[in-house]
Amino acid sequence: MPDLGKYADTVLSAYAASLLLLALLLVVTLWRGAWVRSELKSVEKRIRGNG
């Protein structure tokens, strides 16, 4: 850990906030992607089953 001096709070909170937002964006993106993918698969299966 480098010595951040008197600005430790500033630097760390900026990093924390940014990484949190980036992680949130990534998680939401992947989660919705996976959900849509599985949902589409089940819909396709159902239609093929009916047709």
Looking only at residues 8 through 27 of this chain, which bind another protein when binding is defined by CB under 8 A?
A: 8, 10-11, 13-15, 17-18, 21-22, 24-26
Smallest gap from Cβ 14 to another protein, in A, equals 4
Smallest gap from Cβ 51 to another protein, in A, equals 9
Q: Binding of another protein at residue 33 (CB under 8 A)?
A: yes
CA distances from 47 to 32, 33, 43, 50 (A): 22, 21, 6, 5
CB 20 within 8 A of CB 27: no
Instruction: Kindly calculate the radius of gyration of the chain based on its CA atoms and give it in whole angstroms.
Output: 21
Please count the CA atoms within 13 angstroms of the CA of 34 that sit on its side-chain side: 6
Residues that bind another protein (CB under 8 A): 1-8, 10-11, 13-15, 17-18, 21-22, 24-26, 29-30, 32-33, 36-37, 39-40, 43-44, 46-47, 50
